[in-house]
Amino acid sequence: MTSLGRISVALLVLFHHTQCLPRVDPLVDTKVGLIRGLRADDGNYSKFLGIPYAQVNPDNPFGESTPQPKFEETFEAYDESAVCPQWYWWTGEIDGNPDCLQLNVYVPDTANSNNRLPVMVWIYGGAFERGEFSQKLYGPTYLVKHDVIMVAINYRVGPYGFMCLDTPEIPGNQGLKDQHLGLQWVKDNIEAFGGDANQITLFGLSAGGHSIDLHLLSQREVIYNKVIMQSGSSLAATVLYEPDKLAHIKLAQHLGFETTDTNEAISFLAKSDSNLVVAATLDLGIIFKPCVENSFEGVEPFLNSSWIHAGTPKVRNMPVLTGYNEHELASFHYNKDEEYFKNLNIISDYMKRIFNFEEEELQEMSDSIAHFYFGDEAISSDVKMALIYMDSDFTYIHPIQRSIQKYLEARARNVYYYVFSYLGGRNAILDNGGVEDNNSNVCCAAHADEIPYLFKMVNKPPPTEHDEVVIERMTTMWTNFAKYGDPTPQTSDLLPVKWEPVTKESFTYMDIGSELSLGRRPAHDRMAYWDLFYKLNGNKHKI
């Protein structure tokens, strides 16, 4: 056995039976022991699948996880089937196991002890209710060809990740603490794979992006160097829920165990099938999200104060890339029938949940928003595009802009802002794809539509010729940022426009559409409305 620094200390040579060509599977020596991976068959990289980074206490799977002990034997990193308990909204199935804290590492052939590569750590979205790290959803091929190592982390979601009971055993934010342990594992072990432990970029979508912003606000150590938040902000309306402190009692009762004792309820739920616990969560409509934790002796909190008005000192001198998709909530409203709009009380529901308004003031504020977006029209299919704008602005776009203001005040090194507007063959909301398609479902770039232009996804059609250009542009800008802290360190035929960072004087952004173009202050009129709204009502925020 030979050694190259901390890189592969041995090589296992296997043979393709069909071609009789050697396949070299890497074996690396990490701080937690030997890990054997696989050679990829769709690019010049190796993959290490399903590496455990933390353990969940089987007696309290709703509590904080602990670091994975060292492997006694070589760990065969071949299996990425672990899924945390969740409901798959696209199939209606419930599956998973709390013992799911694993990560995947994808390593280009160019990585070695003399050529350590930047690392990009992916945190998936899913409203803190679902998500997984698998390569079928987040295939690394498009990114690793740019000479970066990619890591994808599984973390607990739903009741197992975000139950918040104000007790030392279940203080809250367990899923975020899982992520932190995963990042610590990367920091400690990535050099064994040829990675640069001092060049770690966190990137994530939606709840993944929200999580990254919460990491910037947390009490935990900074173990990353750059951040990319795609449709992500800790101020997003999808994050802001007050926790149900009796969730465990309600879940136990729903599953047939009557008690008012916290320990008894948790002990019962710990022994219950996780599928039944998730099903009960759905039946009862309980929402689990990040929360403000109480402080307990001997328990390190992740967040122990409200983050709504908090600054972000951790971002000082840190490069930030953030942005949104042009019509974020299109997929929620665009193809709905008339009956859907008749029963929609979206504005007042948002106002009740997020703000402490008296009844008369609630009506006044709701009317103000409705008049701004719909004029004198009632909510119906006739104003669905205005509804999409309203929901997108309130839920994602204005929160992202408010977060950018925080980063500027905290003196982030540079903040790069984007709007993804491309319509192509891989956008989620398109039936048949393509800008020229006349299908009535062709609408706009909706939430998560940028993901198939960063990752190889098994459920997407092969990219069109122009999709290929957008894939190359997106992955080049994202990996440039991971390498240099600048998505366009120099212009080229592929990237003909220099992406200028945001300043307080000029909210410059990159429009990522069929072509690249620079703009200023996206959705300016709508953002100005919400600026005034929060100036008048920000002190009435609930959380």
Q: Are 451 and 116 in contact (CB under 8 A)?
A: no
Hey, what are 257's tokens?
A: 């165990």
Interatomic CA distance for residues 471 and 463, integer angstroms: 9
Exposure string of 127-164, with b = 16+ CB inside 10 Å and e = fewer, is bbbbbbbbbebbbbbbbbbbbbbbbbbbbbbbbbbbbb
Question: Rg for the chain (alpha carbons), in Å?
Answer: 23
Mapping DSSP to helix (H, G, I), strand (E, B) and coil, where does residue 137 land? coil
Q: Is the sign of the CA dihedral 326, 331, 337, 342 positive or negative?
A: negative
Mapping DSSP to helix (H, G, I), strand (E, B) and coil, where does residue 11 land? strand
Helices (H), 218-306: 247-254, 262-271, 274-284
CA atoms within 13 A of residue 477's CA, in its CB half-sphere: 29
Hey, what are 262's tokens?
A: 């916290």
| Cα-based torsion angle of the residue sequence 349, 351, 354, 355 in order, rounded to the nearest 10 degrees | -140
What do you get for the CA distance between the two ends of the chain, in Å?
57
Please confirm, yes or no, whether 206 is among the known catalytic residues.
yes
In the set 8, 46, 65, 206, the catalytic residue is 206
Q: Are 506 and 513 in contact (CB under 8 A)?
A: no
Phi/psi region, residue 380 (left: phi>0; alpha: psi -120 to 50; beta: rest), is: beta
Catalytic (active-site) positions: 206
